[in-house]
Amino acid sequence: MANSHKHSKTPKGGVHTDVHVEVSRRFVQHDQRYSVKRRAIVALLENSDRPLTITDILQRSKTVKGTKNEIAQSSLYRNLVVLEQVGAVQRVFSTDDIGRYELNEEILGHHHHMLCSVCGDMRDVVIPEQLEEKLDSALTQLAKQSGFTLDQHRLDLIGRCKKCA
Ligand SMILES: [Zn+2]
Ligand SMILES: [Zn+2]
């Protein structure tokens, strides 16, 4: 069957009702502590419509109510390393050299990215379910012709954002 691969068809955000439950499970598996700071980082990523740079995360952490959530840069680096190690967060790259962070696709749900080739702006794109299914079955067929078994796909939309158009 064409649908036997792991590729999730669930729209972004619709996979897990509680992201923290899923992330905390990974922390338990890796024998690491899901601290308040780490929760704050996950919450920022969860509520974003795009992958975030270190600078974005630092800025956004300041706007969260209560200074408790403010994250120092050194501690942010360390926590992101751990979040990556437990498989909660992944690093993605746009057209610039700046690393951006987002929740692991298994947690966040399947989606694509729109990248600006001028300024590097990157945002999440969810392809409507019907189109996503057509796309995936076309890619599955294409792969099959090369004797390749498709498990998942990544697809970036590259162009110019509103500001750079
Ligand atoms: Zn741009
Ligand atoms: Zn897709």
Q: Are strands 122-125 and 156-159 parallel, antiparallel or unpaired?
A: unpaired
* Average of per-residue pLDDT values in the chain: 88
Least distant ligand from the CA of 153: 2
Q: What is the pLDDT of residues 102-160, one digit of tens each?
A: 999 999 999 999 999 999 999 999 999 999 999 999 999 999 999 999 999 999 999 99
Compute how many other C-beta atoms are within 10 angstroms of the C-beta atom of residue 157: 12
| Fold type of domain 15-109 | Arc Repressor Mutant, subunit A (1.10.10)
The number of C-alpha atoms within 13 Å of 130 and in the hemisphere containing its C-beta is 0
**Separation of alpha carbons 133 and 155, rounded Å:** 14
Q: How far is the CA of 106 from the centre of ligand 2 (A)?
A: 13
Residues of the chain with CATH 1.10.10.10: 15-109
Q: How far is the CA of 130 from the centre of ligand 1 (A)?
A: 29
Q: How far is the CA of 95 from the centre of ligand 1 (A)?
A: 10
Q: How far is the CA of 63 from the centre of ligand 2 (A)?
A: 33
CA distances from 105 to 92, 124, 154, 162 (A): 11, 11, 11, 26
Q: What is the pLDDT of residues 17-60, one digit of tens each?
A: 689 999 999 999 999 999 999 999 999 999 999 999 999 999 99
Q: How far is the CA of 154 from the centre of ligand 1 (A)?
A: 21
| Fold type of domain 112-165 | Dna Ligase; domain 1 (3.30.1490)
Q: Do 82 and 88 meet the contact criterion of CB atoms below 8 Å apart?
A: no
Q: How far is the CA of 155 from the centre of ligand 2 (A)?
A: 7
**Separation of alpha carbons 63 and 57, rounded Å:** 10
